[in-house]
Every structure is written in structure tokens, then in C-alpha cells.
Chain A
């Protein structure tokens, strides 16, 4: 059985870098996808993802009171993503053009997700691609499960409409 996040955070609080590696292995994909869903370009997300985990490591002893590592990481990720978007030069497109079409003719999914409002996009990513329940999404994004559900509903409707158009 894998070590709970709380124990890994406790080890990280004492400077154990192996614990940081274990947390990265467990949560990096989720954090990366949320960064992309919040409108970061691929190269921006590649730069911000390590920063998120480094910021976690810098918290030191404060981590001993943290219950949910993913919620904490997503909090940092949202803050950093917001800063990156604000620092972009004027006129930079928020999301790149469609990168490719898959073999079955579908447009790259992340491109469609990026067209959604960020609050809806991150809920859709966590629900569809990571299998979170609305309770879990509410917990990690610090919103109520009902809010998460309504964001998901609006998001998936828009996604379906874009899918049908494209």
C-alpha cells in the first residue's frame, strides 16, 4: 500500500527529497493538466510544473499541518498560472491553435478544454480524465460539490457543442 500524502508531507517537512519525488510521481499529471486547463501553453506549463513542487518543498515545517497534498499543490498551481497569464505580453494568444487531429478524426482534447472558462476547464479535466468525484473536486478546489457539479455541467455542454462544430 502506498504511503499516504500526509506522511510524505511530514517527511518533506524534514527535508526528505525522496518524499518530494513520490509526491511528484503521484500528482504531477493532475497538476500539469490543471495548468493546461487554466490556459497555460505547453511550454509555460513545463516551466511552472517544477515551480509548483519547489514551492511545496519551500514550505518546510508549514507542511506538517497540511491534510490534502493535491489541494495544496493545486492552490499553488492556480496562483502561479494566474501570474504567468498576467505577465504575458499583450496580444499573446491564450491557447495555441489545434496541434493535431488524432487518428479517429478528433481535435486534440486539450485544445477544446482550453476554450472553456478556467473554472469549468479544471473541473472537466479532473472529472473526465482523472476520475474525481464532485466531492473530491470540491475538496481540492475549495468549492462545494454542487458548485463543482454545475461547473462541470456547463463545461461539458460547451465542450460537446465545440466538439460537434469541429
Chain B
């Protein structure tokens, strides 16, 4: 170091005020406690939201089952009665054939409409 640098080094610089340390530590403690409370609230909200979703899902299932019990299962879940279904198709084919050939009796026409 040169003389100039040594001379500069012996010149005092301002020091941080002594009151800053305790004030800073007190504030850090307060903020830490506040962050802990905030984190607890945040997790409480997250758990509550999750619980709400699960309950919503559960009760929607319950409601669905109750509705099925009241009005019967949807068509796709009902067992197909093959004989009745084939008869219905045969009838419809007969009516359409009659309509195409011009032989369309009024009874069949009403039935079609």
C-alpha cells in the first residue's frame, strides 16, 4: 500500500448507528412470527379448499345415485330386450318399404308420423 492508501485507511468512515441492531432484530422476530401465522393460514385455506372439493365430489355422487334410484338407470345401462328391439326394427322397415312403393295405407302413415 502506498502512503496515500495508508493515510486513507486511517481516516475513519461513518459507522452504522448502534440502535439499528436491536431494532432490526426485533422487527425480524415480529416478521418471522407473522410469516408463521400467515403460512398456517395459507395451509388451512389449502386444506379447506381440498376438503371442499372432495365433499363436493362425494355429494355429487350421492345425488347421482339418488336420481338413478328415482328415475331408473340411463338407457345405455338398461338391458336390451332383443326380441322387442327386432320387432320394432322390422315394423319400421315394413312402413318405409310401403312408403317407398306408394302403398301407404293411412293406418301405417299415422303410425309412421
Contact = CB atoms under 8 A, between A and B. Distances in A.
Contact of A57 (B1, B11, B17, B31): B31
Q: How large is the interface on B (under 10, 10 to 19, 20 to 34, 35 or more residues)?
A: 20 to 34
B28 A102 contact: no
Interface stretch (A47-55, A61-69, A84-92): A47-55
A163 B2 CA distance: 14
Contacts of B16: 28-29, 32, 45-46, 49
Main secondary structure of the interface of A (DSSP, over half): helix
A42 interface: yes
Contacts of A160: 4
B13 interface: yes
Interface of B: 1, 4-5, 7-9, 11-17, 20-21, 23-25, 27-29, 31-32, 35
Interface of A: 15, 17, 20-21, 24-25, 28-29, 32-33, 36, 42, 45-46, 49-50, 53-54, 57-58, 102, 106, 108-110, 125, 128-129, 156, 159-160, 163
8 contacts: A24-B24, A29-B16, A50-B20, A54-B28, A57-B31, A102-B11, A110-B13, A160-B4
